[in-house]
């Protein structure tokens, strides 16, 4: 296993909020531990056991050992690999936050486009980002 294994984060590359979240997270990833994969890409979709609808309901990630995490648990994993935010991941993984977190995550996910600074919900093809060559 590499010294700094990465997390594969599955996100919707056509979703303005998902793209915004990626741009917020990337500067914190000083060790290049996060790898963002657009689940709309046919090659990416073929490599997962989830449907696009399942992936779209909550964030999913796969760790270097192949273990999956989703929703609140996925965010805890992400925070733990970011050097300057690892303390927050540790804190959120402890009771009672570990128990309260999933409900808070579901509420926030359902209201995510209402938070300040978050882009509006994108419903047109014009919002889709340009595809980067692999």
pLDDT tens digits, one per residue of 1-22: 445 678 999 999 888 888 888 9
Structure tokens at 40: 């709309």
DSSP per-residue string spanning 20-57: HHHHHHGGG-TT--EEEEETTSHHHHHT-SS-HHHHHH
Question: d(Cα 119, Cα 49) in Å, to the nearest integer?
Answer: 29
> pTM of the entire structure?
0.79
Closest CA relative to residue 4, chosen from 37, 26, 28, 34? 34
With 60 as the cut, is the pLDDT of residue 94 above it?
Answer: yes
Structure tokens at 41: 């890409």
12-62 per-position pLDDT tens digit: 988 888 888 899 999 999 999 999 999 999 999 999 999 988 998 889 999
pLDDT at 113: 73
Tokens 């273990």 sit at which residue? 67
């Amino acid at each position: 296993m590499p010294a700094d294994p990465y997390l594969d984060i599955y996100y919707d590359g056509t979703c303005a909020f998902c793209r915004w979240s990626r741009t917020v997270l990337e500067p914190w990833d000083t060790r290049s531990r996060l790898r963002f994969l657009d689940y709309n890409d046919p090659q990416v979709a073929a490599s997962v056991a989830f449907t696009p609808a399942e992936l779209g309901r909550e964030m999913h990630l796969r760790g270097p050992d192949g273990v999956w995490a989703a929703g609140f648990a996925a965010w805890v994993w992400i925070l733990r690999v970011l050097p300057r935010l690892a303390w927050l991941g540790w804190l959120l993984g402890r009771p009672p936050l570990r128990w309260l977190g999933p409900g808070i995550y579901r509420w926030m996910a359902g209201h995510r486009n209402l938070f300040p600074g978050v882009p509006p919900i994108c419903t047109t093809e014009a919002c889709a980002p340009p595809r980067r060559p692999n």
